[in-house]
Amino acid sequence: MPARRLPLVAAALLLATAVGPVSGCAGSTPATSTTSVAGTAAAGCPVSVTDPWVKATDTQMTGVFGTITADEAIVVTGASSSVAGRAEIHEVVQADGAAVMRPKAGGLTIPAGGSAILAPGGDHIMLMALSAPIQPGDEVPVTLACSDGSTAAFTAVAKPFEGGAESYVPAEGSMGEMASPGASPAA
Amino acid sequence: MGGHGDLAGGEAAAGREPAARGVTRRGLLGALGVGVGGLAVGAAAGYAAADAAEPATASEPPVGSVPAPGSMVEPYLGAHQAGIATPLQAHATLVALDLREGVDRAALVRLMRLLTDDLARLTQGRPALADPQPELAAVPARLTVTAGVGMGLLEAAGRAELAPGWLRDGLPAFAVDQLEPSWSGGDLVLQVAAEDPVTVSHAVRVLLTDAEPFATVRWLQSGFHRPANTAPSGITGRNLFGQVDGTENPRPGTEDFDQVVWVPPGTSPWLAGGSAMVVRRIAMDLRVWGGLDVATKEASIGRRLADGAPLTGGTERTPPDFAAVDADGFPVIPATSHIRLAHLQAQAERILRRPYNYDDGVRRDGSAEAGLLFVAFMADPSAQFVPIQQRLAEADVLNLWTTPIGSALFAVLPGVAPGEHLGHALLA
């Protein structure tokens, strides 16, 4: 079936990101997220992302999880995605006996050789104003912004997931307009 | 019991060779901390006794050098899926799924992407992404996940025209069948097998969580064998009738095996390197069988119960002499015996049997809800399985005590290469 050859290869390339660790940080050039070689980052944003996934949702918000490992000390200050109108780095804290999430002031500070773990109930990347539902098995592109202005791109696979039932507390004056605190449809 | 048909099942049809990594029986025993000299406890006792003729020696590797059974992994990448040529694990769950309305080719790609990523991680002892119980993934125990697709999946994918004839036509009705829809059919099957039932349970839970948006469970069946560390050596496994079975399976790693099991390149390129999988749930009347005398039991199968040797003598591995007659001129191996009917009439009639015993408890009337979860692989069921099963259905005396109550046929997808998902050639 020669006619099917090309899409087949394309699919295979896309999928490489779903299985292996994803590395990428090449200044303003999004790393080809097909490479799964860790530690090939260019100077400035030496991070690799392993086990990235995103919670499938039909709401307008969701969380991205995984492990960000840095070769050198770095601060991840923000994130973006072509499927989201806005993305932020969030943390989950206890407030009045309940878990609430809010923007993480200062971003993720990762020491050289260290990792930041993004997990339900903890730090995570919040995708907001989603342009469409994220369906189970979708591959969602995410780009990290690092403190020196460089970026690192990776792809997160969407998983059906019940959990992460935190309520959302917008930062003072920044996101009061968020109409859909739907990050936790299971709540 | 050396035939190929429905009841040709048992503990070790796919072979019970020590698993990969050079683990020996002795090593396993040592790793379990069981002494051969008489301190064996519980289930390990039979195993130790079976090995007593060859006492442990000082030349054995130290216990610490042998991987614990729970840490052993089976590869998941390759031309063929794991779980077919893989030495039979002690526990398996087969689950068949029905696709939800509206699941199309694009959705199937997403489903296969998730399932492939799950099995890539779990079989290697790593948690799945979003694993609800990641601590349970730490014991891979030779976990394999084998995926097969039914005709319904090809239709949902808009690929019905790619189905081989045997998948399009399905299995014929057999005279002995009393099939129940709740044990039959399915659009997608997952065979999940490992040496540890907790590992199997966890993997099934993860896979079903990811499949849930795409499909519902049609049936789920679990089965078991003796684990490697309790199975007696020297005799192939037994089913719940006590019958030794698995003697005539093709041996993995041989050209013979490859010809019997794998779909060759050619007619169905998307299936090349895959296989066909027949699943039959065969209820066995353990109560009535248990009341039969040994001679009747042995005549029904054509083998001795004690050691699995054919009634014409020798050992388990001795070929049956179907021409032999007794003093009265009757065949020593009766005309209605299982092994005579299952015996290949043509070289093409060979299959790989990889069945499991099942025991789901006791009915209110005291009878056992037990039997054989017959699982077999072959390149072409219409040429290799159907002729055998038709002979068995017509005359096998074992039909008196066994009843097929479930039946399903799937095309086992080829193996996965790095960066690919299961079924990529079908769904691309």
Could you give the percent of chain B with pLDDT greater than 70? 82
- The secondary structure of B174-198 as a DSSP string is PTT----GGGS--SEEEEEEES-HH
Contact between chains at A4 and B428 (C-beta distance less than 8 A): yes
Distance, in Å, from the CA atom of B328 to the CA atom of B310, rounded to the nearest integer, reads: 19
pLDDT given for residue A112 in this prediction: 93
**pLDDT of B7 over the 70 cut:** no
Q: What is the mean pLDDT of residues A124-129?
A: 96
- For chain B, what percentages of helix, strand and coil (3-state, to nearest 5) are there? 30, 20, 50
pLDDT given for residue B395 in this prediction: 84
Place B233 in a pLDDT band, splitting at 50, 70 and 90.
low
**pLDDT of B297 over the 70 cut:** yes
Place B271 in a pLDDT band, splitting at 50, 70 and 90.
very high
Q: Is residue A165 less than 8 Å (CB to CB) from chain B?
A: no
Place B284 in a pLDDT band, splitting at 50, 70 and 90.
very high
Inter-residue contact B309 to B327 (CB < 8 Å)? no
Among all residues of chain A, which has the CA nearest to that of B416? A12
- Residue of A5, A15, A64 for testing the chain B interface, max B β-carbons within 10 Å: A15
pLDDT given for residue A58 in this prediction: 94
Catalytic (active site) residue B256: no
- The secondary structure of B211-264 as a DSSP string is HTTTEEEEEEEEEE---TTTSPTTS--B-TT--B--TTPPPTTSHHHHHHHSPP
Chain segment B316-334, per-residue pLDDT in tens: 889 999 999 999 999 999 9
Distances in whole angstroms, Cα of residue B284 to Cα of each of B73, B293, B358, B365: 33, 17, 10, 15
**pLDDT of B41 over the 90 cut:** no
Place B48 in a pLDDT band, splitting at 50, 70 and 90.
very low
Chain A residues closer than 8 Å to B425 by CB = 1, 4, 8
Distance, in Å, from the CA atom of A84 to the CA atom of A61, rounded to the nearest integer, reads: 8
pLDDT given for residue B347 in this prediction: 72
**pLDDT of B3 over the 70 cut:** no
Inter-residue contact A90 to A125 (CB < 8 Å)? yes
Inter-residue contact B69 to B409 (CB < 8 Å)? no
The better pLDDT of the pair B348, A127 is held by: A127
Q: Give phi and psi for B173, each to the nearest 5.
A: -75, 135
Nearest chain A CA: its distance from B129 CA (Å)? 7
Tokens read off for B303: 């083998």
pLDDT given for residue B135 in this prediction: 96
pLDDT given for residue B92 in this prediction: 98
- The secondary structure of B303-363 as a DSSP string is B-TTT--BTTSS-TTSPP-TT-B-TTS-BSS-TT-HHHHHS-SSTT---EE--EEEEEEE-
Chain segment A133-156, per-residue pLDDT in tens: 999 999 999 999 999 889 999 999
pLDDT given for residue B230 in this prediction: 79
ipTM of this predicted structure: 0.80
**Which of these, A158, A123, A156, A122, lies nearest to A52 by C-alpha position?**
A156
pLDDT given for residue B397 in this prediction: 87
Nearest chain B CA: its distance from A27 CA (Å)? 26
pLDDT given for residue A167 in this prediction: 63
pLDDT given for residue B12 in this prediction: 39
Q: What is the mean pLDDT of residues B266-279?
A: 94
The better pLDDT of the pair B121, A181 is held by: B121
**pLDDT of B70 over the 50 cut:** yes
Place B247 in a pLDDT band, splitting at 50, 70 and 90.
confident
Q: Is residue A8 less than 8 Å (CB to CB) from chain B?
A: yes
Place B245 in a pLDDT band, splitting at 50, 70 and 90.
confident
3-state secondary structure of B298: helix
Could you give the percent of chain B with pLDDT greater than 90? 71
pLDDT given for residue A42 in this prediction: 43
Instruction: Taking each helix axis as running N to C, give the angle between helix A5-19 and helix B105-122, from 0 to 180 degrees, rounded to the nearest 10.
Output: 40
Place A10 in a pLDDT band, splitting at 50, 70 and 90.
very low
3-state secondary structure of B405: strand
Chain segment A22-74, per-residue pLDDT in tens: 333 333 333 333 333 333 334 457 899 999 999 999 999 999 999 999 999 99
3-state secondary structure of B370: strand
- Residue B90: count of CB within 10 angstroms of its CB: 24
Q: Specify the DSSP class assigned to residue B77.
A: B
Q: What is the mean pLDDT of residues B191-218?
A: 98
Inter-residue contact B182 to B289 (CB < 8 Å)? no
pLDDT given for residue A165 in this prediction: 54
**pLDDT of A125 over the 90 cut:** yes
Residue of B6, B177, B187, B245 with catalytic role: B245
pTM of the model: 0.81
Q: Which range among A97-111, B5-19, B129-143 shows the weakest confidence by mean pLDDT?
A: B5-19
The better pLDDT of the pair A29, B264 is held by: B264
Distances in whole angstroms, Cα of residue B88 to Cα of each of B15, B19, B192, B193, B195: 6, 9, 11, 8, 9
Contact between chains at B425 and A8 (C-beta distance less than 8 A): yes
pLDDT given for residue B53 in this prediction: 36
The better pLDDT of the pair B241, A171 is held by: B241
pLDDT given for residue A95 in this prediction: 87
Q: To 10 degrees, the CA torsion angle through B261, B263, B265, B267?
A: 150
pLDDT given for residue B73 in this prediction: 96
- Residue A125: count of CB within 10 angstroms of its CB: 28
Distance, in Å, from the CA atom of A75 to the CA atom of B281, rounded to the nearest integer, reads: 58
- Residue of B110, B115, B161, B426 for testing the chain A interface, max A β-carbons within 10 Å: B110
The better pLDDT of the pair B58, B341 is held by: B341
**pLDDT of B10 over the 70 cut:** no
